[in-house]
Amino acid sequence: MESFSCNSARSFIGKNVNLHLKDGAVIVNVHLTKIQKAPGKNNNKIEYAHGNRKTNRLPLRMIAWAEMINANLMINLV
């Protein structure tokens, strides 16, 4: 299975997703803002906003996959 890469992360920029980490944890309902590229191999980080829009960074190598959130479902629950 291919890991979550910079190319696959780029398709989720600007969208709300659930991030599934390799250790089994899930970061729920985050807005991906940008990819921060760093020199060297596997040093790229993804920046996301959560809740009160405080931004956090997470190394891409820690993410197993991302799941899109259905916005229509969120609107209907309110």
pTM score? 0.82
Q: How many CB atoms lie within 10 A of CB 43?
A: 12
Tokens read off for 43: 């040093």
Considering the chain, what is the average pLDDT of its residues? 85
The CATH architecture annotation of domain 6-77 reads Roll (2.30)
pLDDT tens column, 25-47 = 999 999 999 999 888 777 899 99
3-state SS, 19-72, equals EEECCCCEEEEEEEEEEECCCCCCCCEEEEEECCCEEEEEEHHHEEEEEECCHH
* Cα distance between residue 54 and residue 8, in whole Å: 23
Residue type, 5: S
Segments making up each domain of the chain, as ranges: 6-77
